[in-house]
Structure 1
Amino acid sequence: MNPTVHIVDDDEDFRDGLAWLLDSRGLPVRSWRSGDDFLQALRADREPWGCCVLLLDIRMEPLSGLATFERLKAMGWPWPVLFLTGHGDVGMAVAAVKQGAWDFLEKPFQNNLLVDRVEAARQAALALQAGSREKLEFQRALAGLSAREREVLAELLAGHYNKNIAEHLGITARTVEFHRANIFEKLQVQSAVELAHRMGLYGQ
């Protein structure tokens, strides 16, 4: 997987120069002249929601970078967003980071610094994608548990020992051990502690 870098900026010269820089470093790039163009492509499914990074100019007309970001969040956009700002926009960019943007870069920027930050964001996108895939696999395995395994799972998460679980469910301790082993195998965990951790991360 090689995450695409999407550049959304209404300054054609700047946009083209930035695309050339990133392309020269071997990064796949797509350019967009406005936030609205990018949003329309997403809504029409012309642009896949694949693993990517978004460089978003904070000041654009008619739809600002901040307004674009808010609409992306409402659509469930998961990938890192880096705002491109002028000196007077740093305060807005900091506020955007607090609202979930990944970072911001102040114009004019040093080329190597920009490429480094973009690459860091691409690595964050890859990590996010891996986590999403792991979550999906865990939830599929969870859905595949039998009714009895779900009962034993609830007891395990409550911190109960095999003997207590057996008493609560009216089965033998040996049967509890059998179900416990199946649960651990299906959910790919090695201990009750790991089980509780992964349920906390992915079980909702």
Structure 2
Amino acid sequence: MMERRVYLVDDEDAIRRSASFMLRTSGCVVESFNSADAFLKAAPDLTSGCILLDVRMPGTGGLDAQLALRALGITMPVIVMTGHGDISIAVRAMKAGAVDFLEKPFEKASMIAALEQGWARLAAAGRAQTHAHDAEARLNVLTPRERDVLNGLVDGLPNKTIAHDLGISPRTVEIHRANLMAKLDVKSLSEALRIVFAANAVSAAR
């Protein structure tokens, strides 16, 4: 079971104490920060988890912290915490990718429900990443020429055009195509393309 890790970012001591207590009694691992700046400094080295982020803090505010996290390539789910009258800010945070928002004072059930959404997103991202790395490993068994043929197929080119571009015969393209399909253990071109697209997701994330 995935560890339920939460990063609590709020400048109010009382909020950090009460929310930390509620989370720990629910089985969460909690690490708290008294400013967005302190959290952003530590964020690149933190284990994956959900972020409970106050929108109004001295120094860097919650919305700016969201943008800073994205710039750092950190995609942990964010739940923003807002005071009375900050709904417009919460909506902006949602548009910027926040999972949900909580209005202070919030109940334990509301906080856990919001975090459940975040943990579900983390689990889905983990499965997608595993699938992408599996796809990349499968492509690595192909020879350079088989990769050339596959790239032509990805571009939607017919065998004759691929053959012309590579300086080989259409029959040789057919042989490479059959070999790469066998190595990838797929029965159709669409299956092969899905493997390529999944592997490309790994490259794009680097």
Q: State whether TM-score is above 0.5.
A: yes
Alpha-carbon distance, 1:122 to partner: 0.8
What code does the residue aligned with 1:89 have?
Answer: D
What code does the residue aligned with 1:37 have?
Answer: A
Alpha-carbon distance, 1:94 to partner: 0.9
Alpha-carbon distance, 1:79 to partner: 1.2
| CA deviation map 1:69-111 (0-9, x unaligned) | 2211111111111101112111112112212222212222232
Q: Tell me if structure 2 keeps the 8 A contact 1:3–1:125.
A: no
Give the unaligned 5+ runs of structure 1: none
SS in 2 for 1:115: helix
Name the structure 2 match of 1:95. Answer: 92
Distance (whole Å) between structure 2 residues aligned to residue 70 and residue 159 of structure 1: 37
| CA deviation map 1:158-186 (0-9, x unaligned) | 4466688668753464x556533543455
What is the aligned length?
199
What code does the residue aligned with 1:33 have?
Answer: N
Q: Tell me if structure 1 keeps the 8 A contact 2:139–2:196.
A: no
Distance (whole Å) between structure 1 residues aligned to residue 92 and residue 126 of structure 2: 25
TM-score (norm 2): 0.81
What code does the residue aligned with 2:77 have?
Answer: P
Query: Are 1:8 and 2:9 matched, yes or no?
Result: yes
The answer to which of 130-139 and 144-153 deviates more is 130-139
Query: Are 1:38 and 2:39 matched, yes or no?
Result: yes
> Cα–Cα, structure 1 residues 154 and 14, in superposed 2: closer, same or farther, change >3 Å?
same
Name the structure 1 match of 2:66. Answer: 69
Percent identity between matched residues is: 37
Instruction: Trace 1:52-131 onto structure 2 (pairs within 5 A).
Output: 52-131=49-128
SS in 2 for 1:37: helix
Give the unaligned 5+ runs of structure 2: none
Distance (whole Å) between structure 1 residues aligned to residue 54 and residue 179 of structure 2: 51
SS in 1 for 2:74: coil
What code does the residue aligned with 2:50 have?
Answer: V
What code does the residue aligned with 1:117 have?
Answer: A
The answer to which of 61-70 and 185-194 deviates more is 185-194
Name the structure 2 match of 1:156. Answer: 153
TM-score (norm 1): 0.81
Name the structure 1 match of 2:193. Answer: 196
The answer to which of 139-148 and 17-26 deviates more is 139-148
